[in-house]
Structure 1
Amino acid sequence: MSFSAKDILQMQVAPALGCTEPVAVALGAAAAASLLPDRTIDSIDSIEILLDPNIYKNGLAVIIPGTHGMIGLDTASILGALGGDPALGLEVLADIDDDTVAGAKTFLEHKGVTVNLREESGLYVHTTIKSAEVIAESVIVRRHNNIVELRLNGIIQKGSPLLKELNDGTTVSRHQQLEDWLKQRRLEDLVALIEGLDAEDLQFIEEGIQCNLKLAAYGLKYGTGLGIGKALERMLKQKLLTRDMSMTAKILTSAAADARMGGARLPAMSSAGSGNHGLTATLPIWAIKDFIDHDHETVLRAVGLSHIVTAYVKAHIGTLSAVCGCSVAAGAGAAAGITYLIGGDAGHMAGAIKNISEDLTGIICDGAKAGCAIKLNTAAGAAVQAALFSLQGISVQDTDGIIGDGPESTVRNMGIISTEGMVATDKTIIKIMREKQQLKAGKS
């Protein structure tokens, strides 16, 4: 089994409206609700969702687009049930309106959504909706949009088009095959893949960049979320900072995260299952292009390489974990892409990946929220720095800590830290977040 750059882009890069964890919850509810004879607020008696720890962690505090500031997994679930279109996948909430939002508020006030935490790790969303004598269920596993089961009154629904990815008997196993295949590749193999990008692929990459640039423009204009990007621009005007490659990358990337985490109703072109990964994998590369000589196609190929390297690192560290994937996965992708754009070879890219791994491995993921913009700001700047250091002949030595004798062994070590070493860390993060939720509920 072999994969091309086109295969990786098709399976790993897709538009997503809102943070992908609450979106997965909304998608699960919309899929289950599609089985009901009636999806109105009066007809739905109860909704119960069972989630893995990391879906739970990433869905607690992020604003859901189109809701005027509403947050929460319960909110995502009822919005999906009342007005989500499951056929739209990760853009399931694209068509919700103010009436849907008002209905969701009413449901949450009078009925509520029961949120339960599953002890096992691994992406999992099980939604149960009860309506009169009807019980509808959906199950999502492994990937945010991978609906593997629909049940109506306990009977498996095999004919739903929402299950086409499973029914054809190839997609789930194909994604696993891709991850396994990526883990066996050397960096040189990944770099070679971008030579196979055709005009269709380059157009798709261009569309993704423009999608993410719209978020950055929104963040810079309105200062939503924490307003990191807008604040950096303000500090430039105050001559507190200087505009260079690193600062430009920070501004563009953090502004996009401000918009996305602040609830802007604009999709992000995601990478490896995350919209914020997509922002980090693309925007730092675009940001530095005006500082160097290049042709436009090379910029697009650099972004394509970034997506591929991001997928490669994610295959090792896992879809969701205690490690900030924007820092170590998309950050590594961006570092490789920046190095390629400036003219570096695979050896320079290897050094850049080792540099950013030494710099950012260990940054925890404590859920999706406005504060992610600070982490994307850090990742974008570190990606530029890692690339420039490597191009100057500076690469972290393989005698240092977790750094291996090449990017492959370094990434494998990061995967071990993520999947084995930080299991207790993840549980502690979730424990702290749940205690905060319980304290907040007690005060209300």
Structure 2
Amino acid sequence: MNFTVKDILQMEVTLALGCTEPVAVALGTAAAASILPEKQFDSIEVLVDPNIYKNGMAVTIPNSGGLAGINTAAALGACGCDPLLGLELFESLNEESVQQARDLLKAKAVTVKVREERGLYIAARIVSGNSMAECTIVDLHNNIVSLKLDGNEVTDSPLIATLPENAGKNKLAELEEWLRQLSLNDLYDLVDELDEEDLAFLQEGVEHNLRLAEYGLKHGSGLGIGKGIDRLLKQKLLVNDMATSARRLTSAAADARMSGAKLPAMSSAGSGNHGLTAILPIWAIKDFIDTDEETVLKAIGLSHIITGYVKAHTGRLSAVCGCSVAAGAGATAGIAYLVGGDANHIAGAIKNILEDLAGVICDGAKAGCAIKLNTAAGAAVQAALFSLQGINVKDTDGIIGTSPESTIRNMGTLSHEGMSAADKTILQIMIDKEKNRA
């Protein structure tokens, strides 16, 4: 089956309020709660895959008064979230629902378990009196594949009917299979398919992610890296060049998002932080070169395409930091395009950044992600500029292949096979830390 650039944007680029893993857990419990006749809950049980658990442990949940955790997301989803809002459902929280969730957590009515199998998976079960509701989400953060009430399948729920047309498992699998078969030149040519509607959508993504960056710069949220860079610039300890500008904007947005700012991010390939990395470094450098807005938006379109292409090889969630290797590759491709590079320069830029950042691990979503986005943004600029100067890593180096396509396939092998034990180790370290704090 052949897809278009519109299909990529529709399936891979969407708004999300808060980190997408706790959002997805809340969506599961909110959907289950929506079909219960009573809204007083005796117990909430959630079973998640290891990476959903890892990415939901420490990140602050928007609109929650600073709360965090998978169990918290589950309670909040059931108590006060409208599942029809999809990945923006935390918008519907209020003080009453947050307090109800706190009460459930205090009563230890919420349990979270981790299943052994990898692959995005959330199963929520809520007991209310004599009734029990269940919801299952697989493959995509908003892909509800089953709703049950007292063991009976609910088939007329709008939550299933209103999912994006192409959001099901088969469509996503088909898209990723199609992407994996394309060459870099094929991906490059997709940019020419972007029409005015696509460019307007890409501009919307810029505006959303810029609001997060502006919030982070103003408030010094999270680790305050973006605002810290501003101070270093004023002290003349940093120079405002392309790389610094990209790092400043991208890390400030991550500061805001990871601290629970009530602002949605335009995500890419299932991750809000991927969206920040895929968009903001490109937007940040536009003022340093002679270009026009349409070219900038096309560069961002290319960034989303490459990000989705890499994620089709590495998987939606893994032990490898996708902001570094997937969105970082997208960003450097977009930057190379924006500064006048051709397909060969883009290929070199991608190989450069993968040689640089292939070993960056994902140890969950948290405030510290802003440091990694800071690194990825700066490396994306550097990798692109190096490539335009003829500086490209050789295919004799490590995991680098003879082409960007083979390099990305190698990255996928590393992610799926080489890092599986590392992923388990990372998760166990995080679980042990949580137990020690309890």
Whether TM exceeds 0.5 here: the answer is yes
RMSD, matched Cα? 1.2
- 2:85 is the counterpart of 1:88: yes
Kept after mapping to 2: 8 A contact 1:128/1:135: yes
Equivalence for 1:25: 25
Whole-Å Cα distance in 2 between the matches of residues 99 and 191 of structure 1? Answer: 50
Equivalence for 1:321: 318
Deviations 1:278-308 (A, max 9, x none): 0000000000000000011000000000000
Equivalence for 1:132: 129
Equivalence for 1:11: 11
Kept after mapping to 2: 8 A contact 1:146/1:165: no
Equivalence for 2:190: 193
Kept after mapping to 1: 8 A contact 2:42/2:109: no
Gaps of 5+ in 1: none
- 2:207 is the counterpart of 1:210: yes
Equivalence for 2:34: 34
Aligned residue type for 1:4? T
Gaps of 5+ in 2: none
1:265-304 alignment runs, 5 A limit = 265-304=262-301
Which of 393, 398, 403 is matched with 1:401 structurally?
A: 398
Whole-Å Cα distance in 1 between the matches of residues 163 and 208 of structure 2? Answer: 29
Kept after mapping to 2: 8 A contact 1:166/1:172: no
Change (3 A) 1:241 1:170: closer
Equivalence for 1:356: 353
Whole-Å Cα distance in 1 between the matches of residues 326 and 224 of structure 2? Answer: 24
Equivalence for 1:99: 96
1:54-73 alignment runs, 5 A limit = 54-73=51-70
1:112-123 alignment runs, 5 A limit = 112-123=109-120
Change (3 A) 1:358 1:169: closer
1:403-418 alignment runs, 5 A limit = 403-418=400-415
Kept after mapping to 1: 8 A contact 2:140/2:169: no
Which of 215, 220, 228 is matched with 2:217 structurally?
A: 220
Offset at 1:164?
2.1
Give the alignment's TM-score, normalised by structure 2: 0.99
Identity score, percent = 65
Whole-Å Cα distance in 2 between the matches of residues 253 and 268 of structure 1? Answer: 12
Kept after mapping to 1: 8 A contact 2:166/2:172: no
Deviations 1:321-357 (A, max 9, x none): 0000000000000000000000100000000000000
Deviations 1:121-161 (A, max 9, x none): 00000000000000000000001110000010011111111
Change (3 A) 1:15 1:166: closer
- 2:128 is the counterpart of 1:108: no
- 2:38 is the counterpart of 1:44: no
Whole-Å Cα distance in 2 between the matches of residues 72 and 117 of structure 1? Answer: 14
Offset at 1:169?
9.3
Kept after mapping to 2: 8 A contact 1:148/1:166: no
Q: How many residues align?
A: 438
Offset at 1:112?
3.1
Equivalence for 2:363: 366
Aligned residue type for 1:340? Y
Kept after mapping to 1: 8 A contact 2:142/2:163: no
Give the alignment's TM-score, normalised by structure 1: 0.97
Deviations 1:193-248 (A, max 9, x none): 01011111000000000000000000000011100100011111111111100000
Whole-Å Cα distance in 1 between the matches of residues 361 and 130 of structure 2? Answer: 44
Whole-Å Cα distance in 2 between the matches of residues 102 and 49 of structure 1? Answer: 20
More displaced 10-residue stretch of structure 1: 169-178 or 289-298:
169-178
Deviations 1:344-393 (A, max 9, x none): 00000000000000000010000000000000000000000000000001
More displaced 10-residue stretch of structure 1: 321-330 or 97-106:
97-106
Aligned residue type for 1:215? L
Aligned residue type for 1:117? V
Aligned residue type for 1:114? T
Kept after mapping to 1: 8 A contact 2:216/2:255: yes
Equivalence for 2:373: 376
Deviations 1:26-59 (A, max 9, x none): 00000000111122xxx10000000100000000
Whole-Å Cα distance in 1 between the matches of residues 165 and 361 of structure 2? Answer: 37
Whole-Å Cα distance in 2 between the matches of residues 145 and 92 of structure 1? Answer: 11
1:248-263 alignment runs, 5 A limit = 248-263=245-260
Deviations 1:377-420 (A, max 9, x none): 00000000000000001111001110001100000000000000
Deviations 1:64-117 (A, max 9, x none): 001121100111011110111111111111111112111211221123310101
Q: Secondary structure at the match of 1:271?
A: coil
Whole-Å Cα distance in 1 between the matches of residues 165 and 301 of structure 2? Answer: 28
Q: Secondary structure at the match of 2:127?
A: strand
Equivalence for 1:343: 340
Whole-Å Cα distance in 1 between the matches of residues 249 and 341 of structure 2? Answer: 23
Change (3 A) 1:304 1:126: same
Q: Secondary structure at the match of 2:111?
A: strand
Kept after mapping to 1: 8 A contact 2:318/2:416: yes
- 2:9 is the counterpart of 1:2: no
Change (3 A) 1:270 1:168: closer
Q: Secondary structure at the match of 2:326?
A: helix
Equivalence for 1:440: 437
Aligned residue type for 2:365? A
Whole-Å Cα distance in 2 between the matches of residues 115 and 425 of structure 1? Answer: 22
